[in-house]
Amino acid sequence: MGQSPDPNVELVSKGIIAFVTELKKGAGKDIYLCGGADLAGRLFAEALIDEPIVKLNPVLFGSGIPLMSGMAKQTDLELTGTKAYGNGVVLLNYRVEV
């Protein structure tokens, strides 16, 4: 994507760990990041994800990429909330168990 579709959306393609670290120092929480397995795996490895939210779509695929790539260890999560939408999409909110 070459440019942001919205003035409230900032696109970042380089230095993501440093960017998110600084963002968390300022905002602290309520930061929503979208990216994919590589981004999620890198941020999780740096303990920069506090509350993983999984968007479950009502579609089955025969193959694909993992939710978080490069996970070095099993991580326990506690389900903290759910929200179902009329189109079949379900959001699952988790807290990382320490």
CA distance 55 to 90: 6
Q: What is the pLDDT of residues 14-66, one digit of tens each?
A: 899 999 999 888 876 677 777 788 888 888 888 888 888 888 766 656 677 77
CA distance 72 to 85: 33
Domains belonging to the chain, first-starting first, are 16-96 (3.40.430.10)
Sign of torsion over alpha carbons 47, 49, 50, 55 = negative
Q: What is the pLDDT of residues 53-96, one digit of tens each?
A: 888 766 656 677 777 777 667 778 888 999 999 999 999 998 88
- Percent of the chain residues past pLDDT 90, beyond the cut: 14
pTM score, two decimals?
0.60
CA distance 26 to 17: 15
Cβ atoms of 24 and 49 closer than 8 Å: no
pLDDT at 28: 66
